[in-house]
Structure 1
C-alpha cells in the first residue's frame, strides 16, 4: 500500500521509518531521577500538538502489513515522545512486527485480545488500560515505568521471553483488579520489581516458568485481597523482598513454588480473614522474615515445605499450622517453637506438636522433643472431659505424662523423707512385741510406699493416732506413683 496523502506530517515520519524499524523521536525523553513507580510517564500528553500526534489506527495498519517493506531490514513501529489518539486495537490478528512506544501518551486503552504478536514495549508511557486476554507473544511484553490508569488484563496470555512491569504504576477503578492474569503462562521471568498496584493482582492458575520477582513492589487493596494467586506455579523462585508492601491479603492457596519463596517486606491486613493465606502450598524453601510482625492472621495449614526459614518473633499471635509438614527448620528461637505451634485461632491441634517433636527427634534434640510432647498432652487435657482432665493433671504432676519420669523419683524421695522423720519421732507399736524386729523408720516408710513389702516392716508395726492417716496416705501415694509410671511409660512407648 502506498503512503496515504491523508497522513499528517508526524504520521508520515512514522510511515517512512517503519520499513527499517528506525526510532521516530518527536521530543527528547530521558528518565528522571525519581525512581518511584510510574514517575517518569508523561501526564501532560493531552496538551501535545499535532506535530507529535499519531493516530492509533495508523500504527495498527503498519503492524498488520499495510506498508510494503523491502528485504534486508527488520520493520518495526518505534516511537518516542508521541501522543497516540484513539484506541490501539488489534483483536485476534497476527502481528509480525515489534511495537516500541517510549515516553508516549495514549488517549485510549490498548486492545490486543487474542492477538499473536512479536515483542511489545510500552515503557515510561501513560495509558488508560491494557487488554491482552489470550494473546500470544513471541517475545515479551514490557510496561516498565508506565503509568496505567485502568486495568492490565492478560488472562490466558502466553509470553515466550518474559513479562516486565518493573517500576510500573497501575491504578484501577474502584472494585476492579489492577492486574488480571488468570491462567497466564510466562516462559521466562515475570519481573515486577518496584511496581505499584492499586487494586488486586490476580494470578489464579498462572504458570511462571522463569521465576516471579516482586522485590520493592507495592500491592495496595486494603480490606480485600492484594494478591490472589490460587494454584499459581512458579519455577525457580518467588521473591517479595526489599521494601515490599502488601496492604491486603496475600493469597497463595494451593500454589507450587519449585524453588524458594522469600518474604521480607511488610504485610498488613488485620481486617481480612487472613493476612497471608498460604495453605495447601508446596515449596522447596519458604523464607518468611518480614521487616515487621505480620498484621493479621497467617495460615500455612496443610502445606508441604522442604526448608522453613523464619524468625519466630515476626509471626502474628494467630497462626494456623495444622497439617503443615517440613523437613528442616532454620531461624531463631528454636526453644520458642513450642509456643509457636500453639497459636491456632481455632483452638488446639495435635499435628503441629507432633511435626515439631518429630523434627526435634530427627535433629537429636530429645529434651525439646519431650517438652513438645508434654505440651501436646497438656493441650489435649484442656479439651477433655472432667474425669480425663483430673487424671491428666495427676499424670502431669507425678510423671509429666511419662515424659518426665524423674518427677516420680522426686515425689517418692519427698514422701520417703517425710515418713522417715515422722515415724522416727512417732514410732508405731509392734504387732507382736516379742517377735517384731527392730523398728527402722526409713525401711518402714519405704515399705509403705511400695505396692509389695520389701523389708517386712509394714506387716510388723501398726501406726496409731494421726500417724495412721499418714501411713494410709503413703500407701495410696505409692500406688498412684506406680500407676502413673506405668501409664506414662505406656504413653511414651505407644505412638501418640
Structure 2
C-alpha cells in the first residue's frame, strides 16, 4: 500500500475502486450543479496527477476489469495523458475540472465526461476505440478534437460550448473520423463550430441545436462527408452555415430551421452532393442562400423560406417538392443575384415535366425568354416583344389564331362595306370580303381575290397594314414553332 501513503482519503477510495471497475460517487445529491465545484472541500477533491498515475500504472485485480469511474469530484491540476495508451475505460461524470485536460494523441478505450464542467479540452489526434460522451457537458473554453478518430459514436446531447474570446472555434472537429453517429440534439455553441473535412460514417443529429456566431461563421462544415442523414430540424443558426463541398448521402433535414445572417450568406451549400435537401416549414432565411453547382436528388424547398437573394447557378436536381404553380417557383430564379443564366429555367422546366405538369413547364420557358429579352440589343428586345405579344414565343400558339381572327373580322367588315374596284371590269371574280382579307393576311395562300382588285385611299393603307401584319405573324409563328420543335 506504499503507493497510497501520500493520497487523500478521496484519492485512496478511487485507487482502491479502480482495479475492480467500481464507481466512486462523491455527490451529495443527484441534481447538484458541478459548476459549483470550486466550493467543494477536500473530501471530494482529486488531483489530476493521481488519476494520471493510476491510469498509467493500471493496477489489476484478478477476475476484474479495471475502469476509472468517478462522479461528483473536483479535479485539480492538468490531467495530462498526452500520447498515452490507456486500456481502461474512463468515466469522469458530474465533475469539475479547474484546468484543461490534455489528451493530445492519446489512445483510449472509452471516454465519458457527461455532465461535467471543463475549462476546455485539448484532444487533437485523440483515438477512442469505443464512444466519446460529452452529454450535458459545459465547456468554458475551446474543445480541440481536430483529427480525432472515434471508432464508435460521439455524444454531445445538450452540451454547451463557450469560450472567453472568439480567437478560435469553440468546437473543433475538423478532419475528425467518426465510425458511427454524431448525436448532439439541443447542443449550444456560442462561437464557431468547425467540422471541416470531418467524416461521419453514420448520422449527424443536431435537432434543436443552437449555433451562435452572428459576426461570422456559426457552423463551418466544408467538405463534410456523411454516410447517412443530417437531422437539423428546428436548428437555430445566427451566423453563416458553411457546407461548401460536402457530401451527404442521405437527407439534409432543415425542417423548421431558423437561419440568420443578415447582410451576408446565411447558408452556403454550394458544390455539394446531397441525396435530399429539406428546406420547409421554417422562418424565412435572413441572408443569402447559395446552392451553386450542387447536385441534389430531391429538393424540398418551400417558397416562403426563400430570402431576397439566392444563388442557383448550375444547381441540378431531379425532383422539386412540394408541387407548386410555376408562378410560385419563378421568383426564386428572378431572385438569383447573378446575370441571366438559362440553366436554372431549364432545370425548373425539367422538374415540372418530371411531375407531368406540362403547362407549368411552358410557363417557365416563357419566363426564360422574357428574362433573356432583357439581355438583348434594342432591336432584339423589340422583336422579342412582338413574338411575346403575338404567339407568346411559341408557347401560346392560340394567341396567333386570335390575332388572325380579329384582323380578318376587321378587314371583312371594312371591305364588305366598301368594295375595292376591280382591276379589269368584267374579268374579275365576284368580290368576297372574307377571302380578300385572307389573301392579304396569309402570304402563302392565294384565293384569287387580292390580284383581281385594286384598293385605293384608306382601303389601300388598310391592305398595307394587313399584309405587313400577316408577314409578321407568319414569321413569329414559324420562329415559335421552330423553337418548340427543336426543344422537343
What TM-score comes out, normalization by structure 1 length? Answer: 0.95
Q: Is the 8 A contact 2:113 2:135 kept in 1?
A: yes
Other structure's SS at 2:304 match: helix
Q: What do residues 426-462 of structure 1 show as CA deviations (whole Å, max 9, x unaligned)?
A: 2211112222222111111111001134211111111
Q: Is the 8 A contact 1:310 1:332 kept in 2?
A: no
Match of 2:163 among 146, 149, 172: 172
Shift of 1:47: 1.2
Matches of 1:177 and 1:233, distance apart in 2: 20
Matches of 2:272 and 2:77, distance apart in 1: 44
Instruction: Tell me the equivalent position of 1:125.
Output: 116
Instruction: Tell me the equivalent position of 1:283.
Output: 274
Instruction: Tell me the equivalent position of 2:246.
Output: 255
Q: What do residues 401-428 of structure 1 show as CA deviations (whole Å, max 9, x unaligned)?
A: 1111221111111111111111112221
What TM-score comes out, normalization by structure 2 length? Answer: 0.96
Instruction: Tell me the equivalent position of 1:20.
Output: 20
Instruction: Tell me the equivalent position of 2:330.
Output: 338
Kindly report which structure 2 residues correspond to 1:5-44, keeping only aligned pairs within 5 A, or say none: 5-31=5-31, 41-44=33-36
Instruction: Tell me the equivalent position of 2:257.
Output: 266
Instruction: Tell me the equivalent position of 2:90.
Output: 99
Gaps of 5+ in 1: 32-39
Shift of 1:479: 0.5
Instruction: Tell me the equivalent position of 1:349.
Output: 341
Kindly report which structure 2 residues correspond to 1:237-248, keeping only aligned pairs within 5 A, or say none: 237-241=229-233, 243-248=234-239
Matches of 1:489 and 1:269, distance apart in 2: 46
Kindly report which structure 2 residues correspond to 1:463-482, keeping only aligned pairs within 5 A, or say none: 463-482=455-474
Match of 1:183 among 156, 175, 180: 175
Instruction: Tell me the equivalent position of 2:442.
Output: 450
Instruction: Tell me the equivalent position of 2:4.
Output: 4
Q: Is the 8 A contact 1:239 1:261 kept in 2?
A: yes
Kindly report which structure 2 residues correspond to 1:65-80, keeping only aligned pairs within 5 A, or say none: 66-80=57-71
Query: CA 1:237 to 1:453, structure 2 compared with 1: closer, same or farther past 3 Å?
Result: closer
Q: Is the 8 A contact 1:199 1:219 kept in 2?
A: yes
Q: Which moved more, 1:217-226 or 1:356-365?
A: 356-365
Instruction: Tell me the equivalent position of 2:388.
Output: 396
Shift of 1:290: 4.2
Q: Which moved more, 1:102-111 or 1:334-343?
A: 334-343
Other structure's SS at 1:268 match: strand
Other structure's SS at 1:221 match: strand
Matches of 2:368 and 2:329, distance apart in 1: 12
Instruction: Tell me the equivalent position of 1:146.
Output: 137
Q: Is the 8 A contact 2:319 2:354 kept in 1?
A: no
Instruction: Tell me the equivalent position of 2:399.
Output: 407
Matches of 2:20 and 2:134, distance apart in 1: 24
Matches of 2:349 and 2:155, distance apart in 1: 44
Match of 1:328 among 319, 337, 340: 319
Q: Is the 8 A contact 1:41 1:147 kept in 2?
A: no
- Aligned CA RMSD, in angstroms, stands at 1.6
Matches of 1:436 and 1:164, distance apart in 2: 97
Match of 2:360 among 359, 368, 388: 368
